[in-house]
Structure 1
Amino acid sequence: MAATEEGNAAAWVTVEEWAGSSASALSLTAVLTASPSSLTSRSVTPDYVPFQMWDTLQGLSTYIRAMLSTQALLGAIGVGEKSATVIGATFQWFLRDLTGMLGGILFTFYQGSNLDSNAKMWRLVADFMNDLAGVASGATRAALTQHFALANNAADISAKEGSQETLATMLGMGLGMLLAHVTRGHALGVWVSFLSLTIFHMYANYKAVQSLSLTTLNYERSSILLHYFMENGGVLTPQQVSKQEHILPFWSSWRRLLGIKLPHEHVAKTRPYYRNDNYFLLDKGGSVHIFIHKQATATDVLKSFIHGLVLAHLMQKNKSGHSDARQWIDEKYNTFISKLQIEGYSTERLLSHSIVWRAHWSHGPSEEKLE
């Protein structure tokens, strides 16, 4: 079998298979010509390979630690000892599964609709908090798979990820069995190995999500992009935004001021600025509150949030708030969205929490009505 490469620009690889009874009696049996770039770069995003590399490494550390944990658990319930009882071992194993299931139920109730909006953050949280991984990891994995699939090949990517995880599991179990055998009977060695693998697991996980350059718009990415556009007139690439984006959850400071409920008497002074929109804004207590109409579309929600960010930015500079924000939206919003699309961002919607409160209002010749 021989492989040749012709032309650096095309980077095509030809693989030929020859068969025969001797070196002088060979015949060509198969020819395969392929371009590596066509197999990868055109079907997945550039951040796919580094993410999968770090994700595989953290998976390996997980399975090795699982072997050490299983060995310690079986030893704790008396496996190999004459005094061990079947009912005692069964009860302890049941308690382990029960605590994991209860944790998953509680987490679903608390954060179910927020996982798609902050996929990177919750992917990291899922691996740090192993008891909740079944909920958060599965939900964010679907969002990341859609991000990677440039050619609408999400099923193909999912299948390959499954094969990769199976291979990592087999390799991790083998290495774990070897390490468990080496550290058997040495408690200090088990603890040092487990803690070292845990630290490496968290580091690899952090590097995996840090390598992601998502093109969807959530609260923080929208804010970073808008701030740069208002200051410089340009748009950052997804890779540049990724370097500024916070990953750890306790660094996120976004308050839920989108789609809130407020008595209608507080909004009469600002409604005239939003007569043609399916939303309106209210600045109150140093915060910008956003009201969403019942008939508002996903693009209306995105526009309302950008409008709110513009209003907050102008208020910090002691400008005249609503009128200047209205002028900015009328003159520059479409340009901003067009530049985002050129850089590859998805501008169809804003990834946000579920909007519970939606209002209905109508305009009359001399009054407004809000419900």
Structure 2
Amino acid sequence: MVKGLSWMAGGSTRSVFNLSFVRDNNIADITAKNTSQYIFASLFGTTAGVSICAYIGQSAPLALLCFSGLAWTAIYSAYRTVKAIPLPTLNSTRLQLLAARYLKCIRTSSTGLIGFSSGSYMSYQQPPGYVSYQQEYEVPEDEDDTCELELPSPLDLAHQDPPLPWVTADRRILNPAIHVGTQLDKLVQGQPALLVVLLATFRFQRYLLVPEASAIHMVLHAEAAPRDMVQAYLQACILRKCIKAGVQLSHDNVHELRIILHDTLLAAEALTPPFMRALARQGWQTEKIVVEAHRRRARW
């Protein structure tokens, strides 16, 4: 039964791997070569298995040792294969890595104490240690901006993309974690002021972000489009840098939380169009983005 499940999982993912090698509608050639390699590997494996069985005989310890070694080799080979295959589709991990790289590229050294409210700039008292991300990140004006060229392509990012993000991900980049699909009622349970701040800040958006010290929770609207997801991840990555800088995003102080959410929202909103152009230019598919293992959306 386990072998049957593994065959089913392999068959369902093989088509995606084949498509990653396609150039100019040559999927038939890719499939033929993949089948040829599979047949050769199967024959080689069968021959090796028969030889090993003849050597082991009836020895249970040797059989267990060989099985463990071959199983580890197969799993490690599959792991290395997945890391070597460029996949142009955007998921949660790839979007975080790309957003972090893009933000690092366009980041400027200027900081400020200027906020934005009701369509005009106004001064206010910033939370301790907080910098204005509207001024820290500048929007590239030229379409041929250097940051677009430095954004990694699917081939460049393949070796950095962890097949098992919760085990092999780089915690220096993907920490605090971004959780998508958390139920909104659980996030704001017993905190009506927090709910008011979220709905007021994100009333024209198709997502909500609820930052905490250990995680950033993302709630997508039922009608959220790929552009909304890209903007949500840009803002989440900016909030992540804010948390790493030592800013306390306490739900008890909703006034400061709203300032930070509003400021990072405006920065992400301005960066989304050039970031999506950069993604498309580097070969990433932005028409459909899958960031949820289980679709949990909300309406507001």
TM-score of the superposed pair, with normalisation by structure 1: 0.53
- Of 157, 162, 169, the residue aligned with 2:30 is 157
Q: C-alpha deviations, 1:203-259, integer Å up to 9, x for none?
A: 433332221232222222212221122122332333443333323452357563335
Question: Match of 1:45?
Answer: none
Q: 1:283 to 1:191 in 2, by over 3 A?
A: closer
Larger CA deviation: 343-352 vs 190-199: 190-199
CA radius of gyration, larger in = 1
Q: Does 1:348 align with 2:287?
A: yes
Q: 1:245 to 1:180 in 2, by over 3 A?
A: same
Q: Distance in 1 between matches of 2:277 and 2:44?
A: 47
Q: Tell me the amino acid that sits aligned with residue 251 of structure 1.
A: T
Q: 1:296 to 1:202 in 2, by over 3 A?
A: closer
Shift of 1:307: 2.5
- Of 142, 151, 154, the residue aligned with 1:238 is 154
Q: 1:208 to 1:257 in 2, by over 3 A?
A: closer
Q: 1:205 to 1:359 in 2, by over 3 A?
A: closer
Q: Tell me the amino acid that sits aligned with residue 291 of structure 2.
A: S
- Of 278, 282, 288, the residue aligned with 2:206 is 278
Question: Match of 1:296?
Answer: 224
Q: Distance in 1 between matches of 2:161 and 2:243?
A: 24
- Of 174, 181, 187, the residue aligned with 2:47 is 174
Shift of 1:275: 3.5
RMSD over aligned Cα, in angstroms? 3.2
Question: Match of 2:262?
Answer: 323
Shift of 1:185: 5.8
Question: Match of 2:255?
Answer: none
Alignment of 1:49-68 (within 5 A): none
Question: Match of 2:271?
Answer: 332
Shift of 1:284: 4.5
Q: Distance in 2 between matches of 1:286 and 1:191?
A: 42
Shift of 1:182: 4.7
Q: 1:194 to 1:336 in 2, by over 3 A?
A: same
Alignment length (residue pairs): 234
TM-score of the superposed pair, with normalisation by structure 2: 0.64
Q: Distance in 1 between matches of 2:67 and 2:294?
A: 43
Alignment of 1:1-371 (within 5 A): 100=1, 132-184=5-57, 193-233=66-106, 234=147, 235-248=151-164, 250-252=167-169, 254=177, 256-258=179-181, 260-262=183-185, 265=192, 266-284=194-212, 286-317=214-245, 318=247, 320-354=259-293, 356-361=295-300
Gaps of 5+ in 2: 107-146, 249-258
Q: 1:313 to 1:271 in 2, by over 3 A?
A: farther
Q: 1:301 to 1:259 in 2, by over 3 A?
A: farther
Q: 1:314 to 1:186 in 2, by over 3 A?
A: closer
Q: Tell me the amino acid that sits aligned with residue 226 of structure 1.
A: A
Gaps of 5+ in 1: 1-99, 104-129, 362-371
Q: C-alpha deviations, 1:15-46, integer Å up to 9, x for none?
A: xxxxxxxxxxxxxxxxxxxxxxxxxxxxxxxx
Q: Distance in 2 between matches of 1:273 and 1:350?
A: 24
Q: Tell me the amino acid that sits aligned with residue 284 of structure 2.
A: Y
Larger CA deviation: 141-150 vs 281-290: 281-290
Give the share of equivalent positions with the same residue, in percent: 21
Q: 1:132 to 1:306 in 2, by over 3 A?
A: farther
2:183/2:296 contact within 8 Å kept:
yes
Q: C-alpha deviations, 1:49-74, integer Å up to 9, x for none?
A: xxxxxxxxxxxxxxxxxxxxxxxxxx
1:259/1:356 contact within 8 Å kept:
no
2:153/2:282 contact within 8 Å kept:
yes
Question: Match of 1:109?
Answer: none
